[in-house]
Amino acid sequence: MSEYIAPVRDMQFVLKELAGLDQVAKLPGCEEATPDLVDAVLEEAAKFAEGVLSPLNVPGDQEGAKWADKAVTMPKGFKEAYKLFAESGWTALQCEPEWGGQGLPKVLGAAVSEMWKSANHAFSLCPLLTNGAIEALVLTGSDELKKTYLEKMVSGEWTGSMNLTEPNAGSDLAAVRTKAEPQADGSYKVFGQKIFITYGDHDMADNIVHLVLARTPTAPEGVKGISLFVVPKFLVNADGSLGARNDAYCVSIEHKLGIHASPTAVMAFGDHGGAVGYLVGEENRGLEYMFIMMNAARFGVGLEGVAVCERAYQRARDYARDRIQCTDIGVRGGPKVAIIAHPDVRRMLMSMKSQAEASRALAYVVAAAHDAAIHHPDPETRKQNQAFVDLMIPVVKGWSTEIGIEVASTGVQVHGGMGFIEETGAAQHLRDARISAIYEGTTGIQANDLIGRKMAREGGATLKVVIGMMRALDADLAKQDGEHFVAIRARFTAAVNAVEKAGDWLVKTYASDVRSAAAGAVPFLRLLGVVAGGWQMARAALVAQAKIAGGDADPFYVAKIGTARFYADHLLSQAEGLASSVTDGAAGVMALADEMF
């Protein structure tokens, strides 16, 4: 069974040539992200992912997290790995220097996070939730809360969790019923139950800082009456040391399809008199604050899709190189060959490889735009970049996770019958990937957010800007000779036209027939993802061609052009059909009465 090897070469290419790392490094606060530092960080992260996290992936899946007596024990090796992870400074990579962080840009953090997720999906979820909690406290917490919790969380000594969902609520947060009762000392007593809480309990850190949605006694009904509270596993004394155990316990963990080493907890708050909590920001603004965590988590989950594409591809590729079966097609009486020689296996591998590279490129470009939206000195430039990030976050989350599932499934297919057997490892990738399209908002929720809040609300203005950026590539593609670029340009042009057609239809239809628009939301999200990925692959092919024309003989560039050609022929070619599903598909979606199902 092969171990994960971080694709550092492609990561460096995307960071420098597509995401514009040199421009990110010029932003105020990002100056330390020099090429030498970035390369050193990637190399060290690769060593940690390959040498520490990847070897724990399969044993962790087999052993799983264990629950007993309201406490969770992690699989063998996880506690030690997390201690080394924190001591090595990985928890602090993107955090504010004010709280002990390294302050490196999000785009570098995205590449490093992808490595954690590819190497060990279950392990990676703990720092993902902690980073989201840190970001929420930095932006909305009081000075006292920041002083009490942030340094320990940034250092990795304490972790964080996000507590939204309840048994009666699911994704409908308006139905949240957890209560928070004010106390004379300014704290609150929290009562309620939360489900599906990733890393709600574990034994890897000294404390867990739960961020919990709850209602105060005077709160209005619905989402406008939700507040956010810090509820620590252990109370914190005035000197920063840990105090008494809080009334916040894990009462069970879920038995799941995948990510077995990641404890998904049922959390009970206040069963023994009330869990002590502290209000974050203002009352009744909790959902607004929680979306800070949610957006950070949604991007991180999108990276899980990228990561499983890469990991499943590597495993399938290595198996295809070693598995000898049948003679080469069209050759009678010849020797048996490795299955990588067979055209259909090559088609599957190219599908996996191209989607891994396209989704990686899109995610890193969005991360770089996030850095500009935060750090650029010009307000208008910050605004433009933020609009791009807001539009693309649902795509990075929704499209990347959906193709991650498909790519992992294709990996099983490449293995044939052995893919269905756990010992090859291919099945674990598919099992682990399946949740990514569900948590932090299902693909349908992402798609409705995309067409409603991100498109219809502004009349499609940001989408039009993005389409304009895509079309600006046409002149550069037209200058290139050779059949690869002719094909890429033709497919890309048609695909951009399809996005424009479907986007215009959605913006117009949303106001007059929102149900028909919603019926096409997921096909449109996929359409935009496919085309945005194709945009980045076309850009990559142009950079590769320039390198070759300049005398660079690195085969990486030849492979990049060939992969972009495959993506154009096999993925971008889907765009017009997806656009038709958006504009013409509502009638079929809504055709049957409820009782006809």
> Residue 229's pLDDT is what?
97
Stretch 238-251: mean pLDDT, rounded? 97
> Residue 171's pLDDT is what?
65
Cβ neighbours around 588 below 10 Å, total: 10
Of the chain, the percentage scoring pLDDT greater than 70 comes to 99
31-57 per-position pLDDT tens digit = 999 999 999 999 999 999 999 999 999
> Residue 290's pLDDT is what?
81
Stretch 7-12: mean pLDDT, rounded? 98
Mean pLDDT of all residues belonging to the chain: 96
Going by pLDDT thresholds of 50, 70 and 90, the confidence category of residue 170 is low
Q: Which of 440, 458, 500, 595 is an active site residue?
A: 440
> Residue 293's pLDDT is what?
74
> Residue 116's pLDDT is what?
98
> Residue 508's pLDDT is what?
97
Buried b (16+ CB within 10 A) or exposed e, 475-494: ebbeebeeebbebbbebbbb
**What's the pTM?**
0.96
How would you write 530-568 as a 3-class SS string?
Answer: HHHHHHHHHHHHHHHHHHHHCCCCCHHHHHHHHHHHHHH
* Whether residue 360 has pLDDT greater than 70: yes
**Rounded to an integer, what distance in angstroms lies between the CA atom of residue 406 and that of residue 429?**
11
> Residue 287's pLDDT is what?
86
Residue 252: exposure state from Cβ atoms within 10 A (0-12, 13-18, ≥19)? middle
Going by pLDDT thresholds of 50, 70 and 90, the confidence category of residue 296 is confident
> How do the domains of the chain map onto residue ranges?
459-587
* Whether residue 292 has pLDDT greater than 90: no
**Rounded to an integer, what distance in angstroms lies between the CA atom of residue 506 and that of residue 516?**
9
Residue 212: closest CA among 131, 152, 129, 286? 286
- DSSP category for residue 492: H
486-514 per-position pLDDT tens digit = 999 999 999 999 999 999 999 999 999 99
> Residue 355's pLDDT is what?
98
Based on C-alpha coordinates, what's the Rg of the chain?
Answer: 24
Give yes or no: 380 in active site. Answer: no
* Whether residue 169 has pLDDT greater than 80: no
Going by pLDDT thresholds of 50, 70 and 90, the confidence category of residue 2 is confident
